[in-house]
Amino acid sequence: MSNLEQTLSIIKPDAVERNLIEEIKNEFKKNNFVILKEKKIKIEKHEAEKFYQVHQSKPFYNDLCSYLSSGPIVVMILERENAISENRKLMGATDPSKAEEGTIRKKYGVSIDKNSVHGSDSQENAKIEIDFFFKD
Which residues are known catalytic residues?
Answer: 118
φ/ψ region of 30 (left if φ > 0, alpha if ψ in -120 to 50, else beta) reads alpha
Q: Which of residues 7-36 bind Mg ion (CB under 5 A)?
A: none
In the complex, the residues that contact ligand IDP under the rule CB under 6 A are 55, 60, 64, 94, 112-113, 115, 118, 121
CA-closest candidate to residue 53, choices 128, 130, 116: 128
d(CA 118, CA 133): 13
112 touches, from Mg ion, ligand IDP, none (C-beta below 5 to 8 Å by class): ligand IDP
In the complex, least distance from residue 17 CB atom to ligand IDP, rounded to whole angstroms: 15
Catalog residues that contact Mg ion under the rule CB under 5 A.
Answer: 121
